[in-house]
Structure 1
Amino acid sequence: MGKAGLGLMAGIAMAGAAAPAEAKWLRADTNNFIIYSEGSERDLRDFAEKLERFDATLRYRFKVEGGKDPNPLTIYLVDRATDAGRLASGKGGSSIAGFYSPDPEGSFAVSNREDYVIKGTPQSQQTLFHEYSHHFMKRFLPGAFPAWFIEGFAEYYSTADFTKEGKAEVGKPVYSRAYGLLTMPKIPAATLLFQRPLEMRNSGQMDVYYGRSWLLTHMLFNDKGRVSQLGTYIAAINKGEDPKKAATDSFGDLAVLDQDLNRYMNKPMSYRTTAEAIAIAGPITIVALTPAQDAVVPLRLERLSADGDTRMLKARDGLKKLAAQYPGDAGIWFELAKAEWDLTDETRDKAAARAAVDKALALDPKHVRANVLLGEMLTVEVEDRKDATAADWNAVRKPIILANRTNSDDPVPLSAYYRSFVNQGMKPPPIAIDGLARAFNLGPENIEARMNYAFALANDGKFDAAINLARIVAFDPHDGGSGEELLGQLEKMRKYAEGGAEEAPDTDAGE
């Protein structure tokens, strides 16, 4: 075990050079990741090895089984932090250096390849380790966690590093939070425990929130007098206890907790080093993309990150040009179809979207996501018809079933198959519910799949399991309130089933 002091923010050391103008995208495949980067093959391999070692460290720490992940996380490494910030916010000048999205199409993370250092490891590495810690918690640590711990956990593990022998060092200070912790007004422990980061009034308070969350997490992980309290607190929350009661029962007087936290900040902080080297499991393969694949990556990122028609139209128009340049590439036609389809109803050109997906499938009849998208388009057509028959709905499901048969480990066709019955207005059969359960198990971080599965369980009378699933979303600091709404609906369903409510609640999570 080592010691490190929390000093004032160190100077920023710039290292490395920008990628050459002619850099092309490379793709690395590992047990747990698909990584796209414009950097050199050597740098990408080093990065992939470190990321796999970090994953192995978390699995070792939390006793999570390893192996080949059938639904790996996709990571995009852009050139600079400002590029990641623009993707996240849609504009320049953002302070965001990377982000994580549990997207219904598949979870992905964006980080950057800049190497500036604020004492310790590069900020780009800390950014990605922070975001991957979120993914790891959502996918592999079942349970409801409060907002401060979700962020504190990610900050705590963001500074992980490895010795030359491959031993993991975990728990080093997050020096980038030093300025806020030492110079900004402190957030009392009681406020920290019960407020979400989005409730902070400005970026300065947000920075302090992250710093104090990290500090409290570090103390509860390492202070001998309090190491058992976090587990007690998390267990109480997951039993449905009131968060304030759970906090005082577990931590005692919150004013004393705050005093202890302030003292802890000024102490030398312990960090742990594993006794053995952390091994990298599985091979790492790196390939260069074809010119068409290379050209589509930035536009795919633009499409995935778009939060409105303006950015989606930009992606669509770029994809139109690419489709004209590479008319024989099914992937580009799918991206174009998806960009057109994801526009709002007022802007979308349904005929153009259908033509693009048809071209994708003419080039690659088994293209998994193009088949799912075709199923979505057929759903809209059938829903608009009053004379739709069972045969029409079977036609809707035909491309979705083909997608599932092509890749049974892709959760998207499984979820789409379940939704097709909901859209038809009939109770999904057991095979569809089993498929939804499989989709959830492959990607439990996907809030849409989680909500649908929670309602499927509730409709089957399994209210406790359904509410436990919803509670996880309700505590998520990145959730916009949908989790709390879902919890309320499920509680009403249970009350109605027990005869305590006069009006039947809505029993469909929707899309």
Structure 2
Amino acid sequence: MFPSAAYAEWWEAKTDHFIVYSESSAADAKEFAEKMERVDISLRSLQNVDFSPIKSDSQRLTVFRTGDTRDIGRLAGSGSVAGFYIPRLGGSVSFTPAKNEKRGTGELLGARGRSSKTDLDPQSVMFHEYTHHFMFQHFSAAYPSWYVEGFAETAATMVLNDDGSFHLGNPPQYRSDALFGNYINVPVERLLASRNKPTGEDFYAYYSVGWLLNHYLTFEPSRKGQLKQYLRAINAGTAPAEAARAAFGDLDKLNRELIKYKSGRLPGVQVRPANYSPPQVTMRRLASDEEAVMDVVMRSKRGVDKKLAPDVARDAQQIAQRLPGSFAAQLALAEAELDWSDFDASRLPAAEAAVDRALAIKPDSIDAQIIKGRIHFERGRTDKAQMAAARTWFSKAFENDSDHPTPLYYNYLTYYYEGVTPPESAVIGLEKAYDMALFDPEVRLVLARQLLAEKKGPLARSILMPYAIAPHESKNAKKMRDVVDLIEANKVDEAYKKLSADMAEAERKRRSGDDS
């Protein structure tokens, strides 16, 4: 998939909150991991989030560093992507270039010309993406798209100082065309109050105008407290236009102030986190078989569709045949075959054969135990007797790692798809999985469905609200609002049926490869 490697080696750099797999020198991998841990420390300082030790690797963000921005764009399936993040139960992932190459935003959008001043660097992209992960993990509230991206852009330009302090507030120069020129001009009212389907211009404005608006509302003394008021109103279900006008007043006046603000000297702040200590990094050179399978691992972790799944699995087959005694190769093949089985159930025996070989090498592997359980689970969709065997494997994985949400989640699902009432222990496990993976939309929907089955409408409503009150119109947001409307009308049984039907239809489309 990628051109010849810039380095002949891969390194694993592990910190309190990250696992970094880097195709680079050891020093480069270590420096990157330290920076990412520094970003976490800085965000905790800004948001008053206490440090809590991570016991399970499933709770760490896994970052893959390879190639350049074009390679990352190909992996993402879009040439305009220089780095990206995927929230996922039991192991969120992010992808970023290993080469320190910069690309102008004009080039990423297909325009010609380059300018070093407006180059988008991989570090800014990675800081931006991790801010999303941090926000989704620690704050389960609903946020408008402009604020999600605007706040992430604020963190993207963070300057980390050697003494542990950091500077916040620098403008993203790579968006200077939109911020300080006339390249894209979206008024504040459209950003705050529109419920129309977003255009491409709107999406770009989330980053540029969103950053400027967040910066202004954060640093302008006369607007102190207004942003918090607005976000609270949005989370309470207030319509976007009403929430914006109640918090900010005249939106035309706000727009004029914003235009004037960007032409002046933009303020910033220097912050030193309390009780700062330098991040600790544990380094490990990957073995040759781990390096051989890394391309397959990255593509699997990226996620496959009906078209890509066979290609990834076939590449994994070739490596596994060449390395029959490699745990890494057999595990990667098992995962790739299991992914393929989503679209072709006949691949389950191949997935099971591979995971059995992996378990023969490492019987206590949590990842292998989960895959083995999921194979039984998939068979259990048509043969209910398989669900008991699936639970056995999920139980083994849970015994090895009680802080891994995946065994708890799938253990609950075995009862649901078996068509029996889940025991209290399984429901408690689902709730724990939700708490550990607030960023995962699928777990959120499954828990809401369970709460509706228990006639706990208000609790289900609180779980669904972040999706139901998305300020900009979308099919999914409308579906969630319809469910919430039924709950508020005290029609909990109807809400349960609608949510269940919507989830079943989404699953059918995913497995059929229907992207409509």
User: What is the alpha-carbon distance in structure 1 between the residues aligned to residue 121 and residue 54 of structure 2?
Assistant: 27
| Alignment-derived partner of residue 10 in structure 1 | none
Provide TM-score, normalisation by structure 2: 0.86
User: What is the alpha-carbon distance in structure 1 between the residues aligned to residue 358 and residue 148 of structure 2?
Assistant: 40
Amino acid at match of 1:462: K
2:452 is aligned with 1:464: no
* Residues 63-78 of structure 1 mapped to structure 2, 5 A cutoff: 63-70=48-55, 71-78=59-66
User: What is the alpha-carbon distance in structure 2 between the residues aligned to residue 194 and residue 313 of structure 1?
Assistant: 44
2:302 is aligned with 1:305: yes
Structure richer in helix, relative to its length:
2
CA contact (8 A) 2:146 2:205 kept: no
Q: Label 1:405 to 1:151 Cα distance change in 2 as closer, same or farther (>3 A).
A: same
Which residue of the other structure, out of 245, 267, 272, is the alignment partner of 2:264? 267
User: What is the alpha-carbon distance in structure 2 between the residues aligned to residue 249 and residue 355 of structure 1?
Assistant: 61
CA contact (8 A) 1:330 1:364 kept: yes
Amino acid at match of 1:420: T
Secondary structure in 2 aligned to 1:199?
Answer: coil
Amino acid at match of 2:136: K
2:395 is aligned with 1:401: yes
User: What is the alpha-carbon distance in structure 1 between the residues aligned to residue 495 and residue 34 of structure 2?
Assistant: 58
| Alignment-derived partner of residue 480 in structure 2 | 486
CA contact (8 A) 1:169 1:271 kept: yes
Q: Could you give the per-residue CA deviations for residues 459-510 of structure 1, whole angstroms, max 9, x where no partner exists?
A: 33433332222222346699974354234334425535579x6996455855
Q: Could you give the per-residue CA deviations for residues 137-184 of structure 1, whole angstroms, max 9, x where no partner exists?
A: 100123111111001011111000122322110111100010123122
CA contact (8 A) 1:152 1:217 kept: yes
For structure 1, which segment, 294-303 or 484-493, has the greater mean C-alpha deviation from structure 2 after superposition?
484-493
Which residue of the other structure, out of 412, 426, 438, is the alignment partner of 1:418? 412
- After TM superposition, give the deviation of residue 372 of structure 1 in Å: 2.2
2:103 is aligned with 1:104: no
User: What is the alpha-carbon distance in structure 2 between the residues aligned to residue 439 and residue 127 of structure 1?
Assistant: 29
- After TM superposition, give the deviation of residue 30 of structure 1 in Å: 0.4
2:199 is aligned with 1:211: no
| Alignment-derived partner of residue 233 in structure 2 | 236
Which residue of the other structure, out of 3, 9, 15, is the alignment partner of 1:30? 15
CA contact (8 A) 2:452 2:495 kept: no
| Alignment-derived partner of residue 130 in structure 1 | 128
Which residue of the other structure, out of 447, 451, 459, is the alignment partner of 1:453? 447
Q: Label 1:291 to 1:199 Cα distance change in 2 as closer, same or farther (>3 A).
A: same
User: What is the alpha-carbon distance in structure 2 between the residues aligned to residue 242 and residue 66 of structure 1?
Assistant: 35
User: What is the alpha-carbon distance in structure 1 between the residues aligned to residue 189 and residue 264 of structure 2?
Assistant: 22
Amino acid at match of 1:186: N
User: What is the alpha-carbon distance in structure 1 between the residues aligned to residue 392 and residue 152 of structure 2?
Assistant: 42
Secondary structure in 1 aligned to 2:167?
Answer: strand
CA contact (8 A) 1:104 1:446 kept: yes
| Alignment-derived partner of residue 164 in structure 2 | 166
Considering only aligned residues, what root-mean-square deviation do their CA atoms show, in Å?
2.8
Which residue of the other structure, out of 359, 363, 366, is the alignment partner of 1:365? 363
CA contact (8 A) 1:162 1:169 kept: yes
User: What is the alpha-carbon distance in structure 1 between the residues aligned to residue 265 and residue 219 of structure 2?
Assistant: 12
User: What is the alpha-carbon distance in structure 2 between the residues aligned to residue 324 and residue 172 of structure 1?
Assistant: 52
Q: Label 1:122 to 1:345 Cα distance change in 2 as closer, same or farther (>3 A).
A: closer
Secondary structure in 2 aligned to 1:349?
Answer: helix
Q: Could you give the per-residue CA deviations for residues 112-146 of structure 1, whole angstroms, max 9, x where no partner exists?
A: 13335654997111000000000011001231111
User: What is the alpha-carbon distance in structure 2 between the residues aligned to residue 477 and residue 323 of structure 1?
Assistant: 47
Amino acid at match of 1:489: V
Q: Label 1:468 to 1:351 Cα distance change in 2 as closer, same or farther (>3 A).
A: same
CA contact (8 A) 1:493 1:504 kept: no
CA contact (8 A) 2:82 2:96 kept: yes
For structure 1, which segment, 282-291 or 367-376, has the greater mean C-alpha deviation from structure 2 after superposition?
367-376
2:244 is aligned with 1:256: no
Structure 2 unmatched ranges of 5 or more: 103-115, 508-516
Provide TM-score, normalisation by structure 1: 0.87
User: What is the alpha-carbon distance in structure 1 between the residues aligned to residue 355 and residue 85 of structure 2?
Assistant: 28
User: What is the alpha-carbon distance in structure 1 between the residues aligned to residue 496 and residue 392 of structure 2?
Assistant: 37
CA contact (8 A) 1:168 1:278 kept: no
Secondary structure in 2 aligned to 1:269?
Answer: coil
CA contact (8 A) 2:194 2:471 kept: no
Secondary structure in 2 aligned to 1:327?
Answer: coil
CA contact (8 A) 2:237 2:469 kept: no
Structure 1 unmatched ranges of 5 or more: 1-17
Secondary structure in 2 aligned to 1:47?
Answer: helix
Q: Label 1:384 to 1:80 Cα distance change in 2 as closer, same or farther (>3 A).
A: same
User: What is the alpha-carbon distance in structure 1 between the residues aligned to residue 40 and residue 123 of structure 2?
Assistant: 13
Secondary structure in 2 aligned to 1:169?
Answer: strand
Q: Label 1:155 to 1:481 Cα distance change in 2 as closer, same or farther (>3 A).
A: farther
Which residue of the other structure, out of 348, 351, 367, is the alignment partner of 1:350? 348
2:183 is aligned with 1:184: yes
Amino acid at match of 2:167: E
Q: Could you give the per-residue CA deviations for residues 410-457 of structure 1, whole angstroms, max 9, x where no partner exists?
A: 111111111111111122211111111111121211111111122223
Amino acid at match of 1:444: L
| Alignment-derived partner of residue 111 in structure 2 | none
Q: Label 1:47 to 1:478 Cα distance change in 2 as closer, same or farther (>3 A).
A: farther
Q: Could you give the per-residue CA deviations for residues 274-324 of structure 1, whole angstroms, max 9, x where no partner exists?
A: 156872465210110111111222211112224423322221111111111
Q: Could you give the per-residue CA deviations for residues 159-218 of structure 1, whole angstroms, max 9, x where no partner exists?
A: 00122322110111100010123122410111112458982236xx64344211111111
| Alignment-derived partner of residue 11 in structure 1 | none
For structure 1, which segment, 303-312 or 116-125, has the greater mean C-alpha deviation from structure 2 after superposition?
116-125
Amino acid at match of 1:184: Y
User: What is the alpha-carbon distance in structure 1 between the residues aligned to residue 254 and residue 416 of structure 2?
Assistant: 49
User: What is the alpha-carbon distance in structure 2 between the residues aligned to residue 496 and residue 433 of structure 1?
Assistant: 23
Which residue of the other structure, out of 316, 324, 328, is the alignment partner of 1:327? 324
Which residue of the other structure, out of 84, 103, 118, is the alignment partner of 2:72? 84
Amino acid at match of 2:182: T
| Alignment-derived partner of residue 95 in structure 1 | 80
Secondary structure in 2 aligned to 1:342?
Answer: helix
* Residues 273-292 of structure 1 mapped to structure 2, 5 A cutoff: 273-275=270-272, 279-280=276-277, 283-292=280-289
Identity over aligned pairs, percent? 29
Secondary structure in 2 aligned to 1:286?
Answer: strand
User: What is the alpha-carbon distance in structure 1 between the residues aligned to residue 12 and residue 473 of structure 2?
Assistant: 31
CA contact (8 A) 1:341 1:348 kept: no
Q: Could you give the per-residue CA deviations for residues 201-251 of structure 1, whole angstroms, max 9, x where no partner exists?
A: 36xx64344211111111111111112110000111111212211111011
Amino acid at match of 2:325: G
Q: Label 1:373 to 1:254 Cα distance change in 2 as closer, same or farther (>3 A).
A: same
Q: Label 1:227 to 1:189 Cα distance change in 2 as closer, same or farther (>3 A).
A: same
For structure 1, which segment, 396-405 or 124-133, has the greater mean C-alpha deviation from structure 2 after superposition?
396-405
User: What is the alpha-carbon distance in structure 2 between the residues aligned to residue 59 and residue 38 of structure 1?
Assistant: 29
Q: Label 1:408 to 1:504 Cα distance change in 2 as closer, same or farther (>3 A).
A: closer
